[in-house]
């Protein structure tokens, strides 16, 4: 009986194991799937939470960095616009003092200022702090001198470069403002004036408003001292709220970038903020969002992932575990290698596929390898063509710029003496004649001619005559200095525009003639005695004239000097 009972138990044990393979695999998959998941469930939840949280944090940091760059570009664009306006003003003034601008030219400057829509106001201030032109309309005398002690104005005047202030009260209307200063240079690079522009804070706030998410998520911008430039709270913007005591603001001012948590008195909640520093200007940009919103968002993502994860898990166990693994392994290798090749600039090779994989994958691998090889060859040819084209463009650009510089020089400069030529001299004289300044004060026009210049050419040759012209030009330019316009008028004639009275003009002419007669002119070991005659015409203030009459008068004065014996000065119009 005991023997029979043992045989019965053995048969039952054998029948329990002797199940169909499908059932055994199904039970085995269930056990393999359920047991590990049961132990690792809590760990999986924590890992999923951390991953979702990391994505949120990275998004906030990326938003802050993406907001910082447009702000930096905006400021650079406004700085470049102010630089172009500076060049335009320098051109309008002819490289001279800004004070010479007449009413029409000032109106043109003001109209150009108004076209720069990135500025709330732009003012042209001389180096003494007096406002010459402004887009603010009528201003009091006190307002016109408001920039004398302004920090950006003082720094630009001292260091001859642009400066950007933080947010502060405008000296013109006391509104929150950001000042950008830029120097204006004269013909010889000297600083003649300073442009003072006040940026439109509302445009910066408009850029900030584009970053908005969640119910209370927002963005904020502070200057290099931690004061609010743009913020969703208009009262904070109006009072330029000092946020420099906030730890996140301190980090931004130090140029740091990252993500942090802090308590916001504006939202009255704990916030998670991505923050970044605006390159070059040490402004700060932060993108905060209440932690409660982020946690709710992360939970929604996590629950959705868990739900679909369970569904996909069950389906994968029942339907496609082995099939997916068999089909996707070779495909993943091909995709990974293709992505690596693209990321490395078409560098690399397509790997071989296992011989146990379906034949379609082997055919795909062969076609993909052929395509990559062709692209690599084309890429090499294209790179060579681009380099060759860039070299040609660079060479052509350099040649064109050099030609333009030569044309500009030839248009205003005498080729032999390097003085201004007749065209430039007459153009400048005509501007002075039609300007208001010529009616307010007189000026002198001087014409010098080398005595007996033709015999010098005849006796010593034209090369000697050129040497005499060059040396005489240097003497005249040295005696005249930088305050008078000197030009070679024609042949051996030189013209000088003297913005002084008649006696000072006579003194200058006498000193030039004396310097010429005392100079040593030597050619091939022989000394050449050179003298010159000068005619001076004084144009009195308030009198009418034109260019032809002025030139005729000074020519008569020069003719009189020649008739009276040369090497002397003849005055006309006194």
259: DSSP letter = E
- Does pLDDT of 140 surpass 50? yes
Angle CA 338–341–342, to nearest 5: 90
344-401 residue pLDDT tens: 877 777 777 777 767 776 777 778 777 877 777 787 778 788 888 888 877 777 877 7
Q: Which domain holds residue 566?
A: 422-572
In a domain, 250, yes or no: yes
Residue 25 has a pLDDT of 43
Residue 160 has a pLDDT of 92
Residue 181 has a pLDDT of 93
Q: Which of 17-26, 219-228, 380-389 has the lowest mean pLDDT?
A: 17-26
For a pLDDT cut of 70, what percent of the chain falls above it?
A: 82
Mean pLDDT of 182-202: 88
Residue 374 has a pLDDT of 78
484-518 residue pLDDT tens: 899 999 889 999 998 878 888 899 999 999 999 99
Residue 159 has a pLDDT of 95
Residue 146 has a pLDDT of 81
How far apart (Å, rounded) are the C-alpha atoms in residues 502 and 482?
19
Residue 114 has a pLDDT of 85
Residue 20 has a pLDDT of 45
In a domain, 389, yes or no: no
Residue 240 has a pLDDT of 92
Q: Are residues 302 and 440 in the same domain?
A: no
Q: Are residues 432 and 311 in the same domain?
A: no
Q: Which of 31-35, 137-141, 145-149, 392-396 has the lowest mean pLDDT?
A: 31-35
In a domain, 78, yes or no: yes
CATH of the domain at 232: 3.30.450.20
Mean pLDDT of 56-65: 77
CATH of the domain at 477: 3.30.70.270
Number of domains forming the structure of the chain: 2
Banded model confidence at residue 11, pLDDT cuts 50, 70, 90: low
Under DSSP, is residue 566 helix (H, G, I), strand (E, B) or coil? coil
In a domain, 79, yes or no: yes
257-311 residue pLDDT tens: 888 888 888 888 888 888 888 878 889 898 888 888 777 777 776 677 677 667 7
Domain boundary among 261, 291, 315: 315
Banded model confidence at residue 524, pLDDT cuts 50, 70, 90: confident
Residue 437 has a pLDDT of 54
How far apart (Å, rounded) are the C-alpha atoms in residues 114 and 532?
53
Residue 395 has a pLDDT of 78
Residue 222 has a pLDDT of 93
CB distance 516 to 472 below 8 Å: yes
Domain boundary among 253, 283, 315: 315
In a domain, 279, yes or no: yes
For a pLDDT cut of 90, what percent of the chain falls above it?
A: 21
Closest CA to 532 of 482, 496, 500, 498: 496
Residue with tokens 């932060």: 286
Banded model confidence at residue 328, pLDDT cuts 50, 70, 90: low
Residue 441 has a pLDDT of 75
Mean pLDDT of 168-185: 90
In a domain, 198, yes or no: yes
Angle CA 46–50–55, to nearest 5: 150
Q: Are residues 303 and 438 in the same domain?
A: no
Residue with tokens 């940091």: 61
* Residue 96 CB contacts under 8 Å (≥ 6 apart), including other chains: 186, 187, 192
Closest CA to 79 of 266, 379, 376, 281: 281
More confident of the two residues 469 and 350: 469
Mean pLDDT of 513-530: 89
Q: Are residues 311 and 183 in the same domain?
A: yes
Domain boundary among 315, 338, 369: 315
Q: What burial letters (b/e) apply to 109-121, b meaning 16+ CB within 10 Å?
A: bbebbeebebbbb
CA dihedral 351, 352, 356, 357 (to 10 degrees): 50
Residue 391 has a pLDDT of 84
Residue 463's CB: how many other CB atoms inside 10 A?
Answer: 11
246: DSSP letter = S
How many helices (H) and strands (E) would you count in the chain? 17, 17
- Does pLDDT of 243 surpass 60? yes
Residue 40 has a pLDDT of 60
* Residue 317 CB contacts under 8 Å (≥ 6 apart), including other chains: 29, 30, 33
What is the value of pTM for the model shown? 0.46
Angle CA 544–545–548, to nearest 5: 170
In a domain, 554, yes or no: yes
CB distance 531 to 513 below 8 Å: yes
281: DSSP letter = T
In a domain, 447, yes or no: yes
Banded model confidence at residue 109, pLDDT cuts 50, 70, 90: confident
């Amino acid at each position: 009986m005991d023997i029979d009972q043992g045989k019965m138990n053995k048969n039952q044990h054998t029948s329990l194991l002797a199940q169909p393979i499908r059932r055994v695999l199904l039970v085995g998959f269930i056990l393999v799937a359920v047991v590990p998941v049961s132990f690792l469930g809590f760990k999986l939840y924590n890992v999923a939470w951390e991953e979702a949280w990391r994505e949120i944090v990275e998004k906030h940091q990326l938003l802050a960095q993406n907001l910082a760059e447009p702000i930096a570009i905006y400021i650079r664009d406004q700085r470049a616009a102010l630089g172009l306006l500076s060049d335009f003003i320098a051109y309008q003034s002819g490289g001279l003092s800004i004070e010479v601008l007449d009413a029409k030219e000032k109106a043109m400057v003001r109209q150009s200022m108004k076209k720069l829509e990135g500025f709330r106001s732009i003012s042209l201030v001389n180096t003494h702090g007096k406002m010459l032109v402004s887009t603010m309309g009528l201003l009091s005398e006190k307002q016109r001198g408001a920039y004398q002690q302004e920090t950006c104005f003082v720094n630009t005047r001292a260091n001859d470069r642009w400066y950007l202030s933080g947010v502060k009260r405008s000296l013109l209307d006391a509104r929150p403002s950001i000042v950008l200063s830029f120097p204006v240079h004269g013909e010889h690079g000297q600083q003649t004036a300073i442009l003072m522009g006040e940026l439109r804070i509302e445009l910066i706030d408009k850029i900030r408003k584009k970053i908005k998410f969640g119910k209370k998520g927002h963005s904020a911008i502070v200057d290099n001292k931690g004061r609010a430039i743009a913020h969703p709270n208009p009262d904070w913007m109006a009072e330029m709220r000092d946020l420099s005591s906030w730890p996140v603001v301190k980090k931004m001012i130090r140029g740091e970038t990252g993500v942090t948590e802090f308590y916001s008195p504006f939202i009255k909640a704990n916030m998670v903020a991505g923050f970044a520093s605006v390159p070059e200007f040490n402004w700060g940009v932060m993108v905060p969002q209440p932690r409660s919103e982020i946690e709710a968002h992360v939970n929604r993502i996590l629950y959705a992932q868990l739900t679909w994860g369970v569904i996909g898990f069950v389906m994968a166990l029942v339907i496609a575990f082995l099939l997916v693994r068999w089909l996707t392994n070779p495909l993943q290798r091909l995709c990974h290698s293709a992505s690596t090749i693209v990321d490395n600039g078409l560098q690399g090779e397509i790997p071989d596929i296992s011989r146990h994989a379906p034949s379609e994958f082997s055919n795909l691998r062969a076609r993909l390898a052929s395509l990559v090889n062709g692209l690599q060859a084309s890429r090499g040819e294209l790179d060579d063509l681009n380099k060759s084209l860039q070299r040609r463009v660079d060479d052509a650009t350099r040649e064109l710029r050099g030609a333009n510089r030569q044309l500009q020089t030839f248009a205003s400069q005498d080729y032999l003496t390097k003085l201004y030529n007749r065209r430039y001299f007459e153009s400048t004289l005509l501007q002075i004649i039609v300007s208001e300044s010529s009616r307010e004060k007189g000026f002198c026009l001087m014409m010098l001619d080398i005595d007996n210049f033709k015999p010098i050419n005849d006796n010593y040759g034209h090369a000697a005559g050129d040497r005499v012209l060059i040396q005489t030009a240097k003497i005249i330019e040295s005696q005249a200095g930088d305050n008078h316009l000197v030009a070679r008028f024609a042949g051996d004639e030189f013209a000088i525009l003297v913005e002084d009275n008649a006696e000072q003009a006579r003194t200058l002419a006498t000193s030039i003639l004396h310097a010429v007669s005392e100079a040593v002119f030597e050619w091939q070991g022989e000394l050449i005695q050179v003298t010159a005659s000068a005619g001076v015409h004084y144009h009195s203030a308030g009198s009418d004239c034109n260019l032809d009459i002025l030139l005729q008068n000074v020519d008569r004065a020069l003719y009189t000097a020649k008739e009276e014996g040369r090497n002397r000065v003849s005055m006309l119009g006194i």
